[in-house]
Amino acid sequence: MSVSRSAQAALAVLLAGSVAQGVLTTAASARGGLDDVPPAAAVATATPDKPFDGDRTSNLDKASNPDKASASDPSLPPPATGLEAVTPAEPAKADPARSDAPSPERPAVAAAPTAPSDPQAAAVFNRLAASAPLLARLTTKERESIQAFYALGAFKPVWIVDGAYTPAAKAVAARLAAAPEDGLDARAYPVPALPKAAKPDNPGTGESAAGSDNLAAIAEADLKLSAAAVLYARDARGGRLNLAAISRLITPTLDLPAADTVLSSLAGAGGSAGDLLQAYNPHSPGYLALKNRLSVARAPAVKEDARPASAALRLPPGPALRVGMRDARVPLLRAHFDLESRKAGTLDAPPGDAEEYDSGVAAAIAGFQRSRGLPGNGVLNVQTVVALAQGAGPGAGQAGIVRPVGDDAALIVNMERWRWLGSDLGPDYVLVNVPEFRLRVFRDGRQRDEARVIVGKPDSRTPLFSGLMEYAVVNPSWYVPPSILKTMLPKIASYGGSTWGGYEIVRRGGHVSLRQPPGEKNALGFIKFMFPNQHAVYLHDTPNRSLFSRSERALSHGCIRVDDPFRFADVVLPNWTEERLKKLVGKGERTIRLEHKLPVHLAYFTATVDDGGSYRTLPDLYGYDAPMRAALGLGGGGAMARVSPPAVRPSEPTRRTAEAVSVPAPPKPRHSAVPRRAVRASAEAPAPEFGEPGLWTPNPAPVSRSWW
């Protein structure tokens, strides 16, 4: 089949697909039109094995004949006529909206949610869209999460159905009202009351006589209960305070729950929703002990038959009294506690020496101490004398009425600090209580060992956070910190040697550092325990052993020095015994990785309850109590921590014996008796006042390590 030139030209135009309509019209006018051209469909589909079908049409047919296309499709523009369409004119301005040039792909913009058709859902939608806050302390992220949660349920109320609170709502409201049990402020979680006209006239339809005002009130109540539950969960996990305003060294890793996660778990929990909400509080024994103490302290006064009496007793000054001592104050104590004066060891003898501080007086003092939250050791010390002078405190109007002592604010502040450690500490962890200068190791949920520690001075405080112990290093080297090194660089720069005062001078690319090699004079001792953190602190040994005999052990520059570190290593490294570790001493630096990372918590508790139920208060070493009281609305000092004068420290408890850990039994020694271990002597010179760990000196004093 022959095809005319005009048909070939038209076919070329159709295949190109980019010729302007005006050009196509000009060609048609010059050639007398395109009516003599066969249909494009026929040209495109005619093949040797497929005969031409003259009745088939397509979009190409419209493109090849604009007149027909415009006539049949009114959406297309009419074709240009004559030569006017191709008359040169000023260049057409580019339309940015219809530019042929490729443009970068724009991100898809989510369509704004539309208000639901249901009137009650629309009221919830409109309240969420309003700018008014649901609760003052609710964050923007939490509000957006609440909105996303309601959007999943088509913005229908969660807690109010047919004008009444659901069982889950009632359980949540009850827990919010009981927030003071966990040291939280119930005023921060107001439970909204249902509007009077909340009961619909036709249950199930949502229709109410109050109209739109009632729908808005229901939406407000439902959303505020959600906001209160979200805020409670956040506060229970430790999100109540801006810790950076108290100290930049308080950097716990808080596990704050997402708002939609909280609401999803509570909404379908029914009557157990309150228990789920309360479970966001810590479960650790230390927290629960303080919580129980707070409950007892807030309970109404109870009448007891046991002494001590409620009247105040002011004693003249004098030394601390123990059993067997004589003092003129003892008769005053006997009269105060209604004790007869008998000879020691006799019950049927007539009254004897009234000034003897015997076991009977000591027992009465011990009972009084326990009732006042003091260690019940029976010693008439300064704390006991002060407590006797205070009597039973305000509210005890008659003899025999006893109120347990325990400052509510101190309890709440320390309960808040437990939240920094997480809701569940797990079975294995290390807990360092900085104000107590004490370290405890827990395995399988039980305390395995404890040790005295040295912590940072008030002007170089130990940071408070949680980390994971990953490895220990035996025979570690120590690099002089930059804070010290910068003061010595001028001298080192003019010194050409490679060692200086027992330290190696390391020069690398213009940088100079001082390295103290491993050995008995090393400032880190023979072992260090690493839990990588942003503060670059760790646990380590020290050659300056005499410092552990002090009662006040805030002596370091931030790191924690451990008493008897190889005994501590025996507990935290299950596959290594103390004897096996000591054999590595002096054999070069050795890194031992833990098979399972061990959580380490550097905590700050100034009020504790021990296993025996005794309540202890400790001096506020870094001055954190007052700003925390103020931030929690309990009264106190300013926003920043200030170090208070040192207070009288309670007597330190005796260190427990480490419990056996499941490790292979060591081989029997060749000698019949274990040789006595000598006490490691301290350095002759006192520790300098700079650097961590605070023992750097160009010429370290000799140290005796004969006990190794």
Element (H, E) at 292: helix 285-298
DSSP single-letter state for residue 97? G
Active site residue 535: no
Please name which of 438, 417, 402, 698 lies closest in space to residue 551, comparing C-alpha atoms: 438
Task: With beta carbons less than 8 A apart as the criterion, state whether 273 and 279 touch.
Answer: no
The torsion region of residue 140 among left (phi > 0), alpha (psi -120 to 50) and beta comes to alpha
**φ, ψ for residue 530 (rounded to 5)?**
-105, 130
The order of strands in the sheet holding 478-479 is 478-479, 511-516, 503-508, 499-500
Task: With beta carbons less than 8 A apart as the criterion, state whether 515 and 647 touch.
Answer: no
Element (H, E) at 448: strand 446-456
Please name which of 392, 449, 376 lies closest in space to residue 612, comparing C-alpha atoms: 376
Element (H, E) at 140: helix 140-152
d(CA 219, CA 157) in angstroms, rounded, equals: 7
> How far is C-alpha 174 from the geometric centre of its chain's CA atoms?
26
d(CA 312, CA 376) in angstroms, rounded, equals: 19
Catalytic residue of the set 336, 557, 559, 601: 559
Block residue for tokens 């190794």: 708
d(CA 561, CA 552) in angstroms, rounded, equals: 14
Torsion angle, CA of 230/236/240/245, rounded to 10 degrees? -140
Block residue for tokens 């415009």: 70
**E strands within 70-109?**
none
Catalytic residue of the set 283, 511, 535, 540: 540
d(CA 308, CA 399) in angstroms, rounded, equals: 9
Is 367 strand, coil or helix? helix
Task: With beta carbons less than 8 A apart as the criterion, state whether 655 and 558 touch.
Answer: no
DSSP single-letter state for residue 321? B
Active site residue 511: no
d(CA 169, CA 175) in angstroms, rounded, equals: 10
Positive/negative CA dihedral, 526, 531, 532, 533: negative
Is 84 strand, coil or helix? helix
Angle between helices 140-152 and 259-267 (to 10 degrees): 40
d(CA 517, CA 101) in angstroms, rounded, equals: 68
Task: With beta carbons less than 8 A apart as the criterion, state whether 520 and 538 touch.
Answer: no
Please name which of 380, 455, 416, 376 lies closest in space to residue 619, comparing C-alpha atoms: 455
d(CA 478, CA 469) in angstroms, rounded, equals: 19
Please name which of 56, 17, 9, 13 lies closest in space to residue 37, comparing C-alpha atoms: 9
d(CA 391, CA 396) in angstroms, rounded, equals: 9
| Token duo for residue 611 | 């296993």
d(CA 346, CA 336) in angstroms, rounded, equals: 21
Alpha-helical segments (H) within 65-118: 66-72
**φ, ψ for residue 515 (rounded to 5)?**
-120, 130
CA-based max dimension of the chain: 148
Catalytic positions:
540, 559
